A and B are shown apart, each in its own frame.
Chain A
């Protein structure tokens, strides 16, 4: 299926969850609680179709064809 991630079309495997996507992009292993398995803070958040998906729901939230996802983090800013 195809989704939009941070404004770019991309295809993901059927059955992929938000957790799968975060893990792929950050290169970190994500536990079922939405926290990094290495114990360090992830510092990212996900909006799916303009609604925040809490990290506790990443694992259970399956992606659907046409989903629009934004994955953000903290950057320098006043």
Chain B
């Protein structure tokens, strides 16, 4: 990590990948920001935002093939050498999620899957019962399950015990941009986890991502916050720095919170004015 030289001047800042990679399933990723592809109005804009964000892993959804609009997203990710994490978005049951994951594995030749089993379209919140069932089935079928879950420390630990490769608690419901509604629960999830914890969903702006990292998350996953920002490229870059800043702050160790002020200038030796 970052060292300070004896003279007190900071050494060359090592904020990047090499020093502090995000390791998941034995794979070293050079960025702790996972940027999804959802919500972008155009592929060109998406490509520029992905590059600006520095992400090395991105989510895609599996949908019916349409001859008119295929090929380019695939090509875009290949061109930028961004690894693909297919999701099971839109699945309401374990059965559908397992079949979707199987299709994704076949189409994209990866056994990584972002498991998303939602309860209803209004909240888009995970259905815990179906999620547990699907995790169990997918692990048994050899998938590396990145489980999108509620911010529930009990459920997160249960998913880990079932063999999830990473647990991905939500900060707030998908697409709301409300930030991290229950930071305490996220901290609890992190404290108890032995697999990577990725804050997924609800991120609105850069400070939300920095907070997720300060709470101890290993990475942050977001899409809408960048793709629907007024300037997605600028926002992508903002998130790149936010995730790094939060990570560094976590490693640096923040000062404790205090009830009362604590002067940083010594009271001794003050000049006296008569």
Contact = CB atoms under 8 A, between A and B. Distances in A.
B38 A74 contact: no
Given A43-B107, A43-B108, A54-B106, A77 B61 contact: yes
Q: Which of B37, B46, B65, B73 has the most CB of A within 10 A?
A: B65
B63 interface: yes
Interface stretch (B14-22, B97-105, B153-161, B245-253): B97-105
Contacts of A55: 106
A27 B103 contact: no
Contacts of B70: 26, 43, 73
Contacts of A46: 103, 106
Given A6-B65, A54-B106, A75 B60 contact: yes
B75 to A, nearest CB: 9
Contacts of A6: 64-65
Interface string B190-214: 0000000000010000000000000
Given A52-B102, A52-B103, A78 B223 contact: yes
A72 B63 contact: yes
Contacts, number: 103
Given A52-B99, A71-B65, A78 B59 contact: yes
Given A27-B67, A50-B99, A44 B107 contact: yes
Contacts of B223: 77-78
A77 B89 contact: yes
B102 A74 contact: no
A42 B65 CA distance: 11
B67 A26 contact: yes
Contacts of A78: 36-39, 59, 61, 87, 89, 174-175, 201, 222-224
If over half of B's interface residues share one DSSP class (helix, strand or loop), that class is named, otherwise mixed; here it is mixed
A74 B73 contact: yes
A26 B65 CA distance: 9
B107 A72 contact: yes
B235 to A, nearest CB: 15
B174 to A, nearest CB: 7
Contact of B86 (A25, A50, A71, A74): A74
A73 B67 contact: no
B67 A74 contact: no
A39 interface: no
B40 interface: yes
B62 interface: yes
B65 A72 contact: yes
A72 B91 CA distance: 15
Given A76-B40, A77-B37, A77-B59, 19 more contacts: A41-B78, A43-B71, A43-B107, A43-B108, A44-B65, A45-B102, A45-B105, A52-B99, A70-B103, A71-B64, A73-B107, A74-B104, A75-B62, A75-B63, A76-B38, A76-B39, A77-B60, A78-B175, A78-B201
Interface of A: 6-7, 25-27, 41-47, 50, 52, 54-55, 70-78
